[in-house]
Amino acid sequence: EIDNLYNAKQLIKNHKYVIIIWHDPGCPVCEHYLDTIKDMPNEFPQCVFALLNGDDYTDDKVFEPDGAPVTFFFKNGKLLKCTRSGCV
């Protein structure tokens, strides 16, 4: 779980492939999504997976989804894709 912007940036900077999932606790869609992908870290060991709890994340709006859950895909420090509308 990532709780601040510094930790998120360090993770992205220090690993080739990073997948960050923004979620909101109590969100039924988020809970279903997280349950569905729970085995992905084992299936893709070359990727680092991290969760961003929307309720706890209070830093600036680097991660600014228009809903939850949202998955951010990074390669070599650059955002490749965001899986929800409203993401740049």
The pLDDT tens digits for 4-54 are 788 888 999 999 999 999 888 888 888 888 888 889 999 999 999 999 888
User: Both tokens of residue 49?
Assistant: 């997976």
What pLDDT score was predicted for residue 64?
Answer: 67
Q: How large is the average pLDDT for residues 61-68?
A: 69
User: Both tokens of residue 87?
Assistant: 């993401």
Integer Cα distance of 33 and 28 in angstroms = 9
Q: 53: part of which helix (H) or strand (E)? A: strand 47-53
**DSSP reduced 3-state for 17:** strand
**DSSP reduced 3-state for 79:** strand
